Structure 1
Amino acid sequence: MALVIAGERSGVGKTTVTLALLASLRRRGFNVQSFKVGPDYIDPMFHQYVTGRPCRNLDAVLTSEAYVQECFAQHTQAVEFALVEGVMGLFDGVKSLGKAEAMPHAPFPMPKNDFASTAHIARLLQLPVLLVIDCSRLSGSVAAIAHGYRSLDPRLQFAGIVLNRVGSDRHLQLLEEAIEPLQLPILGVLRRQDNITLPDRHLGLVPADELTDLDAVLDKLAHIGNDCFNWEHLLPLLEKSTTDTHRNTPEKHLRLSAFICGSKSKIRLGIAYDHAFNFYYQDNLDILESLGAELVFWSPLKDSLPADIQGLYFGGGFPEVFAEELSQNSQVLPAVKQAITAGMPVYAECGGLMYLCEKIVDFEGHSWQMVGALPARAVMGKRLTLGYRQATALQNTALLAAGETVYGHEFHRSELTLLGKEGEASILDMPTPLYQAVGISPQLSASAGVMEGWISHQLHASYIHLHWGAFPEMPVRFLQHCLQFNPLSNSVDKI
């Protein structure tokens, strides 16, 4: 078994509670595997920093229900404890998008938009829920909140609640008196902690590897974890059951990886990884390695382009925050552009897409030179673009065949301003659109379709983040293209 940490809404302290539990378990010497519901990149970085193990994303939209179950089973085999941090409020999700839920239909009214929610994942994995409630502005009403969440979906098992941001002993007494008639265990009480903060920026928390005082913060959280939770009841819930069955790697993965076995050497794939580019699903990187890729991590902030690589992968991140430093690495910018024009397969998501544009215009209006492989400026603004996307490929790319549909996620505050062919710099021929994309949200099943992303040479660039877990055909095709690229002659065979 394991435990799902859920919130009654966003901002109630799920991540604080999760990190306190993880830090306390690690201080006790336990091996623990963490998971994060949804398409988050930043919270998993903090999980990994605490546990020493990559956090795994559980997202039924980006992958599938079966993959969520397989991923959980696979990565809890070698640990003693497992913990799943939820997303948003417990029942906040989207419409099913035609993906039928594996659980039996409920014979009672249910939210219409809880597919891929924390509740959905808890049902799929048959795990108990620990509900975090922000008590800073309520007392007796806490009972109505707890009762409503526990009773809405009888298929869910509730382990108990955590009372967060409790102001005083008297406040706690009122909360406990209100909860008592429900016979719902209070498994944690966290007081208001003004001295424990994690800084944030425009897309959420500042990533863990940028924080110099993170160890001190985690020491405080571990201390809080030791003192504020009912460990006698929590440890049995967190402990992974010895009866869990191992789910083998799907036959599809093994079958698709066969193409690489005959290769005389591994495919060298450059992975841009530093403070500017660090939004990667660990599963994507693992799949590439399992298919025979040698991952060569390098920094566009300070490194030269790695030698003898046959492809490039630019994940998302914060290139806008580090735009000045990126522009100052003047040797690597033309090298990346030359590799693209020579036909090297390149996959770029969100921040990677921005880096490949002519310029990035930051929040202060300063313009910084980037690679120039795409005829556009990435201009930062106040508007947040956020949500799942259903995207259909308009033509063949290094990852997709024309007409194929994928599900991804967007999360950015920049917009692209296109340049004409007579733009500011020497640019590639105008690329062609990559996707016909529609937005998915709880309010609307699909918004009007838009052209999204670009194809140029063997470059596949888009704002949409993809998780390859349930669709290994995509990285297989990408590596097949990489395999046919000759890094010595900078030429590419026709595919």
Structure 2
Amino acid sequence: MNPSANTPSLPPGLLIAAPRSGSGKSTVTLGLQRALRRWGLAVQGVKCGPDYIDTAFHAAATGRASINLDSFAMPPQMMAGLVEGAAAGADIIIAEGSMGLFDGVRADAGRTGASADVAAIFGWPVVLVVDVAGAAQSAAAVALGCASYDPRITVVGVILNNVASDRHQRLVEEGLKVIGLPVLGVVRRDGALLLPERHLGLVQAHETDHLDARLDRLADCCAESVDIEALRRMAFTRPADELTGLLPDHLTAGSASPLPPPGQRIALAQDRAFSFIYAHILEGWRQQGAEMVPFSPLANEAPDDSCDSCWLPGGYPELHAGTLSGATHFLEGLRRFARTRPVHGECGGYMVLGRTLEDAEGVVHPMAGLLPVNTSHARRKLHLGYRVAHLVHDCALGPAQSRLVGHEFHYASVVETDAAPEHAFAHVSDAEGRELGLAGHRIGQVSGSFFHVICAG
């Protein structure tokens, strides 16, 4: 029997990575994605790690929904299923790494959350974006370290970023000749290529002024300065028979079900204040027969009364706290909904379910008052990392003791809370198993925490 008979082949792929954050891999990735799309290719975007902002930029660049892959939170079978579903009909996969290529957590080999794990699973060649500002031949030593550090992956070439002059370029290229890594592109220093940022990363795609023009400018830059044809030839994904061990029998896209839906008709808050939810979560709900009914709290809309659950994703409610506090139809409708049906809030949604939210200027705004917590964005403190949660009670995310894996990334602080164990949402530990105690709240059918769920189990 042919081992690949029931395993669909995946399009060839590349991983765009870097030795460290801030090297320019996002701008290079978007430029390549848009440039390849302009060539007439169907381009599938992938973001490694728990980043819910960059995938929206990928979608804008490619015209296809992008997905997250995370080797810590997701088993390889789930990642393979997500790629198989998302990349159907695509000609090439352009994946973007997160942080540095090997940056992750201390965990079992292949499950560290590092971008290198994803490249190793799928066999994607790595293109290294190296920011050469302040360096010349020494950049080659950094590239050599990345190329030789992990035998599971293959670094096929380098794109130089932030090159200051012709002389600077010659010096850097001289070093790379010594180690035998080809230069696949040279991007000159140009502030016009930068995308605006905010405290959680890039300003969201739908808020970025003239986004299409910016993406076209990035594509123009890549078309002029990167050997796109060479990159296209280098793209590769493991043959179907080599991936068979990762893929369940008779795999379909629906085989990857990261989280059971909280209802069959879900009122989903969606606007500039509520937009941080992973695409694979929503797609998994749809594949399990659930229907999303969007509403906008910023437009003073209440959850649809025909729904059987309500979900408030994360986002930037702190930037719109005054508007949300004055949205009486939304708040009253949410309170009425919560009397009879489950409501869950993640991160920003959790803050809005609380009693008050203090904005960056120190103004305190009343919120829904459904959970006993007051939060502040004026008293900023970074909270960042993977979280493994076990639910304390039955709630919208599952029965008590259910295990969820996710991520926390916010600057908000809790300034007052009811810490009674019977009102807690979950027991939480970090990626290395260190206990972090109780987190979030569950009162009646209302639950919430700063935790963004990636998958269950």
Are 1:439 and 2:430 an aligned pair? yes
- 1:353-432 aligned at under 5 Å gives the runs 353-380=350-377, 381-418=379-416, 432=423
In structure 2, distance between residues paired with 1:130 and 1:453? 40
In structure 2, distance between residues paired with 1:211 and 1:343? 39
In structure 2, distance between residues paired with 1:323 and 1:394? 30
Q: Is the 8 A contact 1:377 1:417 kept in 2?
A: yes
Counterpart AA for 1:367: V
Determine which of 120, 132, 135 is the counterpart of 2:132. Answer: 135
Q: Is the 8 A contact 2:370 2:446 kept in 1?
A: no
In structure 1, distance between residues paired with 2:24 and 2:331? 41
Which residue is equivalent to 1:482? none
Which residue is equivalent to 2:3? none
Determine which of 440, 450, 453 is the counterpart of 1:463. Answer: 450
Which residue is equivalent to 2:87? 76
Counterpart AA for 1:21: L
Counterpart AA for 2:182: P
In structure 2, distance between residues paired with 1:212 and 1:201? 14
Q: CA deviation at 1:33?
A: 0.4
| 1:278 match: secondary structure | coil
In structure 2, distance between residues paired with 1:401 and 1:331? 31
| 1:317 match: secondary structure | coil
Provide Cα deviations, 1:111-165, integer angstroms capped at 9, x if missing partner: xxx7120111111111110011110110010121111111111221111111110
In structure 2, distance between residues paired with 1:235 and 1:249? 27
Q: CA deviation at 1:240?
A: 6.8
Provide Cα deviations, 1:233-252, integer angstroms capped at 9, x if missing partner: 11123477896889523886
Which residue is equivalent to 2:98? 87
| 1:392 match: secondary structure | strand
Q: CA deviation at 1:100?
A: 6.1
Percent of pairs with identical residues: 36
In structure 2, distance between residues paired with 1:431 and 1:212? 46
In structure 2, distance between residues paired with 1:321 and 1:74? 35
| 1:347 match: secondary structure | strand
Runs (4+) of structure 1 exceeding 3 A deviation are 238-247, 250-254
| 2:118 match: secondary structure | helix
Q: Is the 8 A contact 1:35 1:84 kept in 2?
A: yes
Which residue is equivalent to 2:252? 249
Structure 1 residues 377 and 44 mapped into 2: Cα distance closer, same or farther (>3 Å)? same
- 1:20-419 aligned at under 5 Å gives the runs 20-96=31-107, 101=110, 115-238=112-235, 248-249=251-252, 267-305=264-302, 306-340=304-338, 342-380=339-377, 381-418=379-416
Counterpart AA for 1:2: G
Counterpart AA for 1:434: F
How many residue pairs end up in the alignment? 437
Q: Is the 8 A contact 1:374 1:431 kept in 2?
A: no
Give unmatched runs, 5+ long, in structure 1: 102-113, 261-265, 422-428, 472-495
Counterpart AA for 1:172: Q
Q: CA deviation at 1:398?
A: 2.8
In structure 1, distance between residues paired with 2:236 and 2:218? 20
In structure 1, distance between residues paired with 2:162 and 2:22? 11
Q: Is the 8 A contact 2:384 2:408 kept in 1?
A: yes
| 1:88 match: secondary structure | coil
Which residue is equivalent to 2:4? none
Q: Is the 8 A contact 1:81 1:240 kept in 2?
A: no
Q: CA deviation at 1:224?
A: 0.3
Q: Is the 8 A contact 2:383 2:408 kept in 1?
A: yes
In structure 1, distance between residues paired with 2:147 and 2:237? 23
| 1:296 match: secondary structure | strand
Q: CA deviation at 1:347?
A: 2.0
Counterpart AA for 1:316: G
Which residue is equivalent to 2:437? 450
Identify which range, 348-357 or 286-295, moves more after superposition: 286-295
Counterpart AA for 1:236: R
Determine which of 17, 29, 34 is the counterpart of 1:6. Answer: 17
Q: CA deviation at 1:4?
A: 0.4
In structure 1, distance between residues paired with 2:309 and 2:418? 28
| 2:21 match: secondary structure | coil
In structure 1, distance between residues paired with 2:267 and 2:28? 36
Structure 1 residues 251 and 118 mapped into 2: Cα distance closer, same or farther (>3 Å)? closer
Q: CA deviation at 1:418?
A: 2.7
Structure 1 residues 128 and 408 mapped into 2: Cα distance closer, same or farther (>3 Å)? same
- In the superposition, the TM-score normalised over structure 1's length comes to 0.83
In structure 1, distance between residues paired with 2:363 and 2:57? 31
- In the superposition, the TM-score normalised over structure 2's length comes to 0.90
| 2:380 match: secondary structure | strand
Counterpart AA for 1:125: F
Q: CA deviation at 1:54?
A: 1.2
Counterpart AA for 2:446: L
Structure 1 residues 174 and 398 mapped into 2: Cα distance closer, same or farther (>3 Å)? same
Give unmatched runs, 5+ long, in structure 2: 1-11
In structure 2, distance between residues paired with 1:243 and 1:188? 31
Q: CA deviation at 1:430?
A: 10
Provide Cα deviations, 1:306-331, integer angstroms capped at 9, x if missing partner: 23111101111000011111122111
| 2:410 match: secondary structure | strand
Counterpart AA for 1:307: D
Counterpart AA for 2:195: L
Q: Is the 8 A contact 2:31 2:216 kept in 1?
A: no
